[in-house]
Amino acid sequence: MLTLRQIEVIRAIMVTGTIAGAAKLLGVAAPGVSRLMKYTEDSLRIRLFNRSHGRYVPTPEARHIFGLLDNVYRQVEDLQYAVQRLERGAGLELSVGSVPSIANVMVPRAIAKLRQQYPELYVDINILKIEEAIDYLLVGRGEVVAISSYLEHSIIHFEPLSTGRLLCIVPENSPLSEKDTIAPAEIVRHTLIGIDPNDPYGRVMTEIFRRENLSFDMRIKARFGTTVCALVGADLGIAIIDEFTVADGRVPGIKCLEIEADTTFSTYVAYRRDVPLSIFSERFVETLRSEMNRAKR
């Protein structure tokens, strides 16, 4: 049985006609090529080359074998080329979804790292509300969704992604901006902006009020956390937001205050139980988890 290395050496001698030429072509030492060639002929019990004036000339009985060896070598080259394309992500596309809170800063950071490893990979990112994520996965529009709530589902698996904390954001020129921390009881005394508390993400943002039996009045509601930040920046009130939405620290017109309560919440990555993830999706999840853990305040 010939190994791929033996095939490579035989072909190199066939192409160059000398041991020294084959060694140069392969980037190895000539004695090693000579020893492997002798070992190969002894193992096969066939003389593959006649030696004439320092050159290696294929024997008549071995010419048919050389043609087959050349075909095998070219197929191995094609395989190596295909693997190299796969390593770069060439011609392939990764489709992922994310809720807005994670998509705002964390997903772009993860994609940037992913593209460093797979520079030719196409990426399709869909921004989804939590209630849209299940259908997105079930109909096969994408492989994974980064999500901020856990749901029980027979087909969709929810894998822990990272944990985060909630912050209170206030207008940077308001008296509250002189504080570094704020208690939930004080938050509810101000005009509140936020996501609808009946929304899964909105429930995460307002859980501290329910836990401490505090009544609150959401005067201004918005669909996305980035809009909430903009409304606070416009001096229309204060809000509770997750730390990932404001992780880049470049949201104009606001200041982030620590909340004097346990505000830890969990995030997940959802994907189908019955469909294996691609290597690109697995790497995306690993990278996203790393970026989210690094972003914690």
* Structural domains in the chain plus CATH codes: 4-88 (1.10.10.10), 93-161+267-296 (3.40.190.10), 165-265 (3.40.190.10)
157-168 pLDDT, tens digit per residue, is: 999 999 999 999
56-74 pLDDT, tens digit per residue, is: 887 877 777 777 777 777 7
Predicted local distance difference test score (pLDDT) of residue 71: 77
The H or E element that residue 127 is part of is strand 122-127
Burial of 159 (0-12, 13-18, 19+ CB in 10 A): exposed
Amino acid in the structure at residue 120: E
- Between the alpha carbon of residue 138 and those of residues 28, 103, 122, 150, 155, the distances in Å are 53, 20, 22, 16, 8
Asked whether the beta carbons of 215 and 137 are under 8 A apart, the reply is: no
Asked whether the beta carbons of 5 and 36 are under 8 A apart, the reply is: yes
Percent of the chain with pLDDT over 70: 95
pTM for the whole structure = 0.70
Q: Residue 61 contacts by C-beta under 8 Å, 6 or more apart in sequence?
A: 46
Q: Would the pLDDT of 240 be above 80?
A: yes
- Encoding tokens for residue 215? 């009544």
- Give the other-Cβ count within 10 Å of 38's Cβ: 10
Confidence grade of residue 16 (pLDDT, cut at 50, 70, 90): confident
Confidence grade of residue 85 (pLDDT, cut at 50, 70, 90): low
Predicted local distance difference test score (pLDDT) of residue 76: 73
115-135 pLDDT, tens digit per residue, is: 998 888 889 999 998 888 999
Q: Would the pLDDT of 78 be above 90?
A: no
Q: Would the pLDDT of 55 be above 90?
A: no
